[in-house]
C-alpha cells in the first residue's frame, strides 16, 4: 500500500556519508520534531535527477527554509558512497542531506518502488517529494513515469 497524506512514515534505516565513513540514520529519530522536505530520485547521476531535481532543491533551499522547512533531504536506491559523491559533485553539502536507501527498504516501505530492470537499474524508488512534519506526511507528490513536474522544489514551495 502506498503511503498517503496524514500517514506516519515507517521506521527504516538510511545511510549517509560522513567524514568518518557511512553512518546509519534511523528514520524515526531523523524526522522527529522537524519539518523536512524529502525528495526521491530513481538514481544518483541520472539525467533528470542531476540536471533538474537535485539542483532545484539546492537553488531553492533558502526559500524552502524561509517557509518553515528545517531540513531538505534526498533519497535514492543507491549506496552511500554514490550518494555522497553525487552530493559533493552537485554542491549539496550543507544544503541537502543525502540519504542512501541502498536496499530499497524505504521505497518499499512507503509503497513507492519501481521496476527499472528494462533499463538495467533493478528495483528503484519512484520520483516523488513529500513534506514530512514530525514524521507525518503533510504533502505527497508522486510523478507519473517519465515526468518531472509535481516533485520539484518549485511545486513544493507552492504547497508551503
- Within 10 angstroms of residue 116's Cβ, the number of other Cβ atoms is 17
Average pLDDT over residues 60-65: 97
Catalytic: 74? no
Q: Domain 13-159's class?
A: alpha beta
| Poorest-pLDDT segment among 27-36, 39-48, 69-78, 81-90 | 39-48
Q: Which three cell numbers stand for residue 135?
A: 514524521
pLDDT value at residue 116: 81
**Which residues are 36's β-sheet partners?**
71, 132
pTM of this structure: 0.94
pLDDT (0 to 100) of residue 11: 96
Tell me the average pLDDT across 87-98: 94
- The mean pLDDT value of the chain amounts to 93
Beta partners for residue 115, in sequence order: 123
Q: Tens digit of pLDDT for each residue in 44-61?
A: 888 787 878 999 999 999
Q: Which of 33-42, 58-67, 119-128, 148-157 has the lowest mean pLDDT?
A: 119-128
Strands (E), the chain: 13-18, 21-26, 35-40, 71-76, 97-100, 113-115, 123-125, 128-133, 136-142
Q: Which of 3, 36, 37, 49 is catalytic?
A: 49
Amino acid at each position: 500500500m502506498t503511503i498517503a497524506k496524514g500517514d506516519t512514515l515507517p521506521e527504516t534505516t538510511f545511510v549517509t556519508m560522513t567524514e568518518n565513513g557511512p553512518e546509519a540514520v534511523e528514520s524515526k529519530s531523523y524526522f522527529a520534531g522537524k519539518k523536512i522536505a524529502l525528495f526521491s530520485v530513481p538514481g544518483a547521476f541520472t539525467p533528470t535527477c542531476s540536471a533538474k531535481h537535485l539542483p532545484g532543491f539546492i537553488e531553492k533551499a533558502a526559500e524552502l527554509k524561509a517557509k518553515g522547512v528545517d531540513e531538505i533531504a534526498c533519497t535514492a536506491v543507491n549506496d552511500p558512497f554514490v550518494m555522497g559523491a553525487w552530493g559533493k559533485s552537485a554542491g549539496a553539502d550543507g544544503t541537502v542531506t543525502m540519504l542512501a536507501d541502498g536496499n530499497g527498504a524505504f521505497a518499499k516501505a512507503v509503497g513507492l518502488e519501481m521496476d527499472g530492470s528494462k533499463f538495467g537499474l533493478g528495483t528503484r524508488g519512484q520520483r516523488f517529494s513529500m513534506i514530512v512534519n514530525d514524521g507525518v506526511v503533510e504533502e505527497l507528490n508522486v510523478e507519473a513515469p517519465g515526468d518531472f513536474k509535481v516533485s520539484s522544489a518549485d511545486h513544493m514551495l507552492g504547497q508551503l
